[in-house]
Amino acid sequence: MKHNRFVQLSWVLLALMTLASAAWTQARATAPSGTIVETLRQDLVRFQKLEVAKEEGYGLFHGCMSSPQSGAMGVHFV
């Protein structure tokens, strides 16, 4: 009986630690805020349109790449 109770308690503790870890990871993954980040966002918002980037002299650096192991990357202008 004590062994079963110990096993049940162990599973409950493992579940709680897993949930706490996931919550902590999610909290750390949220976008940072602050003066520098907001300034950069405001300055770079115009480059969400490809035409603007081209008009400003940016050109295609590398096209989209994808692979089953690495996932996919976007189009990069420099």
Is residue 57 within 8 Å of residue 49, measured between CB atoms? no
Q: How many angstroms separate the CA atoms of 59 and 54, rounded? A: 6
| Closest residue by Cα to residue 74 from 3, 62, 10 | 62
pLDDT tens-digit profile, the chain (78 residues): 677 888 888 888 888 888 778 777 776 666 666 788 888 889 989 988 889 988 999 888 877 777 788 777 777 777
For residue 35, give Cα distances in angstroms to 38, 41, 45, 62, 64: 5, 10, 15, 31, 32
